Amino acid sequence: MADKVSEDELKPTQTEGYKAGEKKSLAEYAQLDAEDESLARWKASLGIVPGASGGAATGPKLKLHSLSLVSATAPNGAVTLDLESGNADAIKKDTLTIKEGVEYHVSFKFTVGQEVLSGLRFIQVVKRGGIPVDKTEAMIGSFSPRGEPYIKHLETEEAPSGMLARATYSVRSRLIDDDNQTLWDQSWSFKIAKDWAA
């Protein structure tokens, strides 16, 4: 496939000298620097409190439920890839349509299962006709296990416009943690068209 995205293209930017911290359990995080009031507030905002049990004891560290392209001009406010099925081939074939020239942002909904995820990053490469046209890398943050899903929004972008921009684009998106462990990886596609319904 001409639009296949290689592992090299998905490599995250590395900060020289950065070394990820030691992994800890929720209980260890809750007890860490317990006397520091500001740190206690930060940990509470992540759901890390003494006696917290976290999410599911088994299952994936991260489960992505949906990926959406959100725009005020889109029907129902967004076009969405439902990722619940986990059927990568079906998701790959489901092409989202974006109206040319509109402002939109990528949004995704996910749950964290077993442990605190530190330094969650989103990396995405977009190709047209086998040629890379965009690479996005965004720091998402750190998240603790909880029952309800998190929803994160990336920065607003403007879809290209004009006859030359109207085409189908291949995308590969990935979520990694601060150890560069891949937690989610999916190929999908979108089409720039004259209108949302095209």
pLDDT of 160 reads 94
For the chain, domains (ranges, CATH) are: 56-193 (2.70.50.30)
What proportion of the chain, given as a percentage, has pLDDT over 70? 75
Checking 89-92 for CB contacts under 8 A at 24+ apart, the result is: 91/186, 91/187, 91/188, 92/186, 92/187, 92/188, 92/189
Query: Which residues does the chain have with pLDDT short of 70?
Result: 1-2, 6, 8, 10-32, 46-59, 197-198
Give the side-chain half-sphere CA count within 13 A for 188: 24
Task: Quickly tell me which residue has 């999908």 as its tokens.
Answer: 188
pTM: 0.75
